[in-house]
Amino acid sequence: MSTPDRPGCRPSPVDHRAAVATETARFVAVVEGADPTTPVPSCPGWTLADLVRHAGSVQRWFSVLLRGRVQEPPRGRDVDLRLPSAADGWADWLADSATEAASAFAATDPDTPMWAWGADPHARFWARRMLFETLLHRVDAELALGIRPEVDRALAVDGVDEFLVDLPHAALFAPEVANLRGADETIRFRSVDGDGDWLVRLRPDGFGVDPAGEGTGPADATVRAAAGDLLLLVYGRLRLDADAIEHTGDQELLTRWFSDSGF
């Protein structure tokens, strides 16, 4: 599935709906047979059971939104989650959540206009968002179990794009985002193993990604990494001082960005 070329968003070669199924299968394989009470350090206070419940609930909730073709912000989250009755049932329940999502995808044209909290008011927004919720929490499960995460490069590039394009719209549930303002200061995020290159501009009235192909000049600060590491960085699963990350320029600006850009 591809997204249209619009300001701040690169066309995506990723089939988000198919990738949800693939990433969920990977997630299921990670947690199957694992102790559900295992702590998840990258999600403080959560266990593996909490992590799986969250990821599967997101899939089921988004599926309800897709089937309803919602046109305005929903007022509640009344979803029959059909939670497992046994502690060892979480992996199967998560697999069933992906089946629910696949059914909703099959019944909904991705170009259907819909309400979305982010930049793209179409059904495809929810498939893309579901994908990266699933992928990041698969990574969380792997980190909790001492498994080194691997992220497909094309997915990682698309995920960084999705994060940066939608972040300006996330203040409703990530209020610190409103602090990301500046005097036309710029941060470049660049993947060293692909075509990912984004210039974020902090303006007095907010911030955003410069349209694709623009903003080719020098930035006030630059962050470079392999696409997978860049994705984990923007989502807080890697620190800026990690060996995999190269950063140059205005360090105060980078500190401010990473202090206020989490969601």
Write down all domains in the chain, each with its CATH number in brackets: 16-150 (1.20.120), 175-260 (3.30.1050.10)
Half-sphere exposure of 66 (CA within 13 A, CB side): 27
Kindly report, residue by residue over 85-118, the tens digit of the pLDDT. Answer: 998 999 999 999 999 999 999 999 999 999 999 9
CA of 19: how far to CAs of 85, 153, 186, 233, 259, in Å? 28, 13, 32, 21, 30
pLDDT given at position 195: 84
Q: Does the pLDDT value for residue 160 go beyond 80? A: yes
Among the residue ranges 5-14, 134-143, 155-164, the one predicted with the least confidence is: 5-14
pLDDT at 212 over 70: no
Q: What is the mean pLDDT of residues 147-162?
A: 96
The model's pTM is 0.93
Cα 75 from Cα 65, distance rounded (Å): 12
pLDDT digits (tens, 9 = 90+) for 5-58: 433 445 568 999 999 999 999 999 999 999 999 999 999 999 999 999 999 999
**According to the model, what pLDDT value does residue 211 have?**
83
Give the Cα-Cα-Cα angle 162, 57, 155 (nearest 5 degrees).
30
Q: Which residues contact 174 (CB under 8 A, 6 or more apart)?
A: 167, 262, 263
